[in-house]
Amino acid sequence: MEGVYVGIDVCKERLDVHILPQGESFAVTYDSTGLYRLCERLKAQAPELVGLEATGGLERLAAAVLSGCGLQVVIVNPAQVRHYAAALGERAKTDPIDAAVIARFCQAVKPPFHPLPDALSRHLNELIARRRQIIEVLVAEQLRMRHLTVNSLISGAKRIIAALERELHGLDGEIDTVVRGSPMWREKDDLLKSVPGIGSKTSRTLIAELPELGACSRKQIAALAGLAPFTRTSGKWKGKSFIAGGRAPIRAALFIATLSAIRHNPAIKHFYQRLVTAGKPKMKAIIAAAHKLLLILNAVLRTKTPWQSA
């Protein structure tokens, strides 16, 4: 018997739902009443997967409620869904059509199901995301202050920078309390920081935004971090390798950590110098070193063995 797949398009006021293979479409209000009705209706269908498109966090409540009802919920990448729609020749874009495309995408691709993060994990994710936002604003304000010449404006910029630094310090303390307060996260934190080049900030970012670290294969974890090299070739034409996709915050954190590891981690330092000596451009050598560092971290968490220099 063919499995049942559900696609849900999320907007602020309602949820458009499409069920395959029945081809049934309906909508419910995006509130407690609508979510309760949706849970009861979908549980009767016993779907293989329920797919929701990522919409900047608007989908989180629906995903949490449906997952709490015992349904297997996946958050699908909007770019992948749009490419799939284009492959189907579906040019029109309405909420019911989007729900149908999401359902067909889940039916055809069967994206892997991962349990949704618990409340503590969501808390840490929000803290890390907020810290990243404050750093972006802080750096922008520091750059703007360099071009100011009016004393009153410079004083105002300094007050803003001081306030942001206080907020950043408070967030760092809260993140440390959350991570060190969990035995599992404390163990991960200690293992990750045993690798030269990995500090507290990188460790907490990896714990929050790459929970699969230590539980995936080398290829899978590289793809999740956006450090898996892709090569384009056609006949006699040989294209260049490049990286794409993945989780940008993870890639950025690993890039910074790699610059430190090149100086302080013997394995990464030797690997980087060998590539540069062989004629590899420095940026490509850094990316390759970041890939190697990620694989080391994955192995450290998988084996639960602290770093040991050869």
CATH assignment of the domain containing 75: 3.30.420.40
Flag whether pLDDT at 234 surpasses 70.
Answer: no
3-class DSSP state for residue 49? strand
Nearest Cα residue to 207 out of 187, 223, 185, 224: 185
For the segment 201-213, what is each residue's pLDDT rounded down to a tens digit? 999 999 988 888 9
Boundary residue ending a domain (86, 109, 132): 109
Q: Which amino acid is at 158?
A: K
What lies within 8 Å, CB to CB, of 250 at 6+ separation is: 205, 206, 209, 210, 224, 225, 226
Residues 164-172 have a mean pLDDT of 94
In this prediction, residue 233 has a pLDDT band, given cuts at 50, 70 and 90, of low
Asked whether residue 10 falls in the same domain as residue 104, the answer is yes
In single-letter form, the type of residue at position 207 comes to I
Confidence at 302, pLDDT banded by 50, 70, 90: very high
Residue 275: its pLDDT value, please?
94
Is 31 domain-assigned?
yes
Q: Is residue 1 predicted with pLDDT exceeding 60?
A: no
Asked whether residue 201 is domain-assigned, the answer is no
Question: Is the domain of 219 the same as that of 297?
Answer: yes
| Residue that wins the pLDDT comparison between 282 and 61 | 282
Total domain count, the chain: 3
Q: Are residues 160 and 71 in the same domain?
A: no
Instruction: Tell whether 130 and 150 lie within a shared domain.
Output: yes
The answer to the question of residue 197 being in a domain is no
- Confidence bin at 232 (pLDDT 50/70/90): low
Residue 230 pLDDT exceeds 80: no
Q: Which domain holds residue 135?
A: 119-181
d(CA 228, CA 220): 8
Contacts of 26 (CB under 8 A, 6+ apart): 17
Please report the sign of the dihedral spanned by the C-alpha atoms of residue 44, residue 50, residue 55, residue 60.
positive
What is the distance between the alpha carbons of residues 268 and 286, in angstroms, rounded to a whole number?
A: 10
What is the arithmetic mean of pLDDT over 275-280? 94
268 and 291 both lie in a single domain = yes
174 or 243, greater pLDDT: 174
End of a domain among 78, 109, 140?
A: 109
CB contact at 8 A, 14 and 29: yes
293 in the same domain as 223:
yes
| Domain shared by 35 and 66, yes or no | yes
pLDDT at 270: 95
196 falls within a domain:
no
Query: pLDDT band at residue 53, thresholds of 50, 70 and 90?
Result: confident
Does 198 fall in a domain? no
Confidence of residue 238 (pLDDT cuts 50, 70, 90): low
Is residue 189, in this structure, part of any structural domain at all?
no
- Do 100 and 12 belong together in one domain? yes
Give the pLDDT mean for 284-301: 94
Kindly state whether residues 72 and 140 are assigned to the same domain. no
What sign has the CA pseudo-torsion 246, 247, 249, 255? negative
Domain identity same for 15 and 73: yes
What pLDDT does residue 288 have? 93
Whether 185 shows a pLDDT value over 60: the answer reads yes
DSSP letter string, 55-105 = -TTTTHHHHHHHHHTT--EEEE-HHHHHHHHHHHT-----HHHHHHHHHHH
**Is 35 part of any domain?**
yes
Give the pLDDT band (50/70/90) at residue 239: low
* Residues 80-100 pLDDT 10s: 888 898 888 877 788 889 999
Is residue 77 classed exposed, middle or buried when 0-12, 13-18 and 19+ CB atoms within 10 A define those classes? Answer: middle
Between these two residues, 7 and 224, which has the higher pLDDT value? 7
Q: Which residue has the higher pLDDT, 67 or 113?
A: 67
Question: Would you state the structure tokens that stand for residue 25, as one six-digit string?
Answer: 């479409």
Domain co-membership, 98 together with 124: no
Band (298; pLDDT cuts 50, 70, 90): very high
241 has pLDDT over 70: no
Mean predicted lDDT score pLDDT of the chain: 89
Position 200 in a domain: no
From 53, 81, 109, the end of a domain falls on 109
pLDDT value of position 240: 67
Domain check: are 86 and 175 in the same one? Answer: no
